[in-house]
Amino acid sequence: MLNIVLFGSPGAGKGTQSQKIIQKYNLMHLSTGDNLRNAIERQTPRGIEAKKYMDRGELVPDEVVIGIIGRRLDEFRDKTNGFVFDGFPRTKIQARELDDMLTERGTSITLMMALEVEHSELVNRLTNRGKSSGRPDDQGIEIIKNRITIYNERTKNVMDYYKAQQKYFGIDGMGTVDEIFDRISNTINQQMPKAK
Ligand code: B4P
């Protein structure tokens, strides 16, 4: 299986590039953010709990998102060539759990790509999206900055976990969507032989 972690700050372009990756490589998209927003819309107990954190731009507790991913892996693993993990893992605990869940299912992460985008561009993208998305966590500069701060303080060091496994690849996330996707595709193509 080709299993990809797509990593980066809020606004780095993870959701945007995930759509292009799954189409080109015929993979399944697993976005914890999308899943949580869906749970909020349906007002499930998990959604009601998650909303308290998401509206403030904070991370949802590890056990909630780990449970989501575990269920999705079981649902789809026989139906796909692999997964794009978008917005997961966001803590080292999540990264270790993901490795364990994949090992139990006879597979592993092939590569992790981190989209690198300048701070001012992140703020611009999220502010622009906020005008049309209706997402509470895109509304207001303070919430947006809080999300970027939480990424820098709690999530960024997940890179070290993948660097130690020689699976980390930094991708220049500045430029047009297609330019960035070319860089991503080149990296995936080089690493594909390692998929198992
Ligand atoms: P996510 O849904 O992952 O939201 P995000 O970090 O903002 O990334 P997203 O994918 O939406 O944005 P993208 O960069 O593609 O998480 C939301 C919240 O859910 C978190 O804050 C947290 O509370 C919770 N959560 C999710 N996963 C969790 C976990 N594992 N653990 C704990 N909590 C978790 O795009 C941003 C904008 O930029 C878009 O409008 C896009 O059109 C634009 N854009 C993209 N590429 C561009 C380019 N090249 N040029 C110009 N604009 C571009």
Domain spans, the chain? 4-184
Which atom of ligand 1 is nearest to 36's Cα?
19
For the Cβ of 15 lying below 6 angstroms from any atom of ligand 1, the answer is: yes
Give pLDDT tens digits along the chain (196 positions): 999 999 999 999 999 999 999 999 999 999 999 999 999 999 999 999 999 999 999 999 999 999 999 999 999 989 999 999 999 999 999 999 999 999 999 999 999 999 999 999 999 999 999 999 888 999 989 999 999 999 999 999 999 999 999 999 999 999 999 999 999 999 999 999 999 8
Residues labelled as active-site residues: 14, 90, 129, 135, 147
50-58: Cβ within 8 A, 24+ apart: 54/136, 54/137, 55/136, 55/137, 55/143, 56/137, 56/143, 56/146, 57/10, 57/137, 57/143, 57/144, 57/146, 57/147, 57/150, 58/146, 58/150
Which atom of ligand 1 is nearest to 128's Cα?
40
Structure tokens at 39: 């749970």
Ligand 1, pocket-test mutation among 7, 41, 56, 59, most atoms within 8 A of CB: 59
Q: Is 66 exposed, middle or buried (0-12, 13-18, 19+ CB in 10 A)?
A: buried
For the Cβ of 11 lying below 6 angstroms from any atom of ligand 1, the answer is: yes
Its pTM stands at 0.94
Which residue in this structure is represented by tokens 């297609």? 178
Q: How many CB atoms lie within 10 A of CB 45?
A: 8
Correct CATH for 4-184 of 3.30.2270.10, 3.40.50.300, 3.30.1330.10, 3.40.30.10: 3.40.50.300
